[in-house]
């Protein structure tokens, strides 16, 4: 049986209805039309771990094109495992970049971008892929560019994150405001002074959602100052 077969066997319509509400699939919402099987992430992870060594790239491509959210997630989780455990890193990266239009919800982005796109940047120090994603007129490609920095920030490298934060400072979608604020908060975990320097220059222009996320770990006095 394939990974997709294993997932289809776990279909739960009641949970699927709940997930469709949680992930905003109604008309006019950011994930309009997405379909769910009703499978929790730990189950999907187990299936990915079971199948990643025996699933070829053609099959991964088909899974990324699948109408069901969990099948696409499983493909991405397998790609993360392949990237971490095999020598086909460039092939995994290329498959990922060529399918950003299928990585079309925040969880799909957040569970894969740091470990593939971010890790590639750590190795190569070449920002062109990330800058290319940031330039796309696509919410999910833009979020990939920002959230990819989660792994980069942990190395103490904040330069590209600050560049992206500046670029998206006036982004109108709350999912991007949250992503940028989240990554700025991650910078603060590593180097509070670097975060404060960025905030001092930009906090008056930042959307409130972005600002709130970025200052979550600061003291009450600092929060009051930046929110005033």
Query: Per-residue confidence of the chain (228 residues) as pLDDT tens digits?
Result: 899 999 999 999 999 999 999 988 899 988 889 999 999 999 999 999 999 999 999 999 999 999 999 999 999 999 999 999 999 899 999 999 999 999 999 999 999 999 999 999 999 999 999 999 999 999 999 999 999 999 999 999 999 999 999 999 999 999 999 999 999 999 999 999 999 999 999 999 999 999 999 999 999 999 999 998
Main-chain phi, psi angles of 119, to 5 degrees: -65, -35
pLDDT the model gives residue 98: 97
* Strand partners of residue 35: 68
Tokens of 184: 């700025």
- CB-based burial of residue 26 (10 Å sphere; 0-12 exposed, 13-18 middle, 19+ buried)? exposed
How far is Cα 120 from Cα 63, in angstroms, rounded to an integer? 23
Return the closest-CA partner of residue 202 out of 191, 213, 210, 193.
210
Tokens of 149: 């920095």
pLDDT the model gives residue 1: 85
* Dihedral of alpha carbons 178, 184, 189, 193, sign: negative
Would you say the pTM of this structure is higher than 0.85?
yes
Tokens of 192: 């509070």
Contact 122, 151 (CB under 8 A): yes
Q: Name the CA radius of gyration of the chain, rounded.
A: 18
Task: Map out the domains of the chain with their CATH numbers.
Answer: 1-105 (1.25.10.90), 112-228 (1.25.10.90)
How far is Cα 183 from Cα 159, in angstroms, rounded to an integer? 12
Q: How distant, in Å, are the alpha carbons of 131, 180, 185 from that of 161? A: 11, 8, 11
| Angle of helix 128-135 versus helix 139-147 axis, rounded to 10 | 150
- CB-based burial of residue 225 (10 Å sphere; 0-12 exposed, 13-18 middle, 19+ buried)? middle
* Strand partners of residue 68: 35
pLDDT the model gives residue 31: 84
């Amino acid at each position: 049986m394939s990974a997709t077969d294993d997932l289809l066997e776990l279909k739960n319509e009641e949970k699927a209805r709940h997930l469709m509400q949680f992930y905003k699939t109604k008309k006019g919402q950011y994930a309009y039309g997405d379909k769910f099987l009703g499978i929790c992430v730990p189950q999907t992870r187990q299936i990915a771990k079971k199948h990643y060594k025996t699933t070829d790239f053609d099959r991964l491509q088909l899974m990324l094109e699948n109408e069901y959210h969990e099948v696409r997630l499983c493909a991405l989780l397998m790609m993360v495992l392949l990237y971490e455990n095999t020598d086909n890193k460039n092939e995994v990266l290329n498959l990922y970049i060529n399918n950003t239009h299928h990585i079309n919800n925040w969880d799909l982005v957040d569970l894969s971008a740091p470990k593939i796109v971010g890790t590639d940047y750590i190795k190569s120090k070449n920002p062109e892929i990330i800058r290319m994603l940031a330039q796309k007129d696509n919410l999910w490609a833009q979020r990939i560019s920002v959230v990819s920095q989660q792994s980069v920030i942990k190395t103490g490298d904040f330069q590209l994150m600050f560049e992206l934060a500046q670029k998206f400072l006036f982004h109108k979608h709350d999912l991007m405001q949250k992503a940028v604020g989240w990554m700025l908060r991650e910078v603060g975990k590593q180097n509070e002074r670097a975060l404060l320097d960025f905030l001092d220059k930009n906090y008056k222009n930042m959307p409130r959602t972005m600002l709130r996320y970025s200052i979550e770990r600061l003291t009450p006095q600092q929060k009051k100052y930046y929110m005033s």
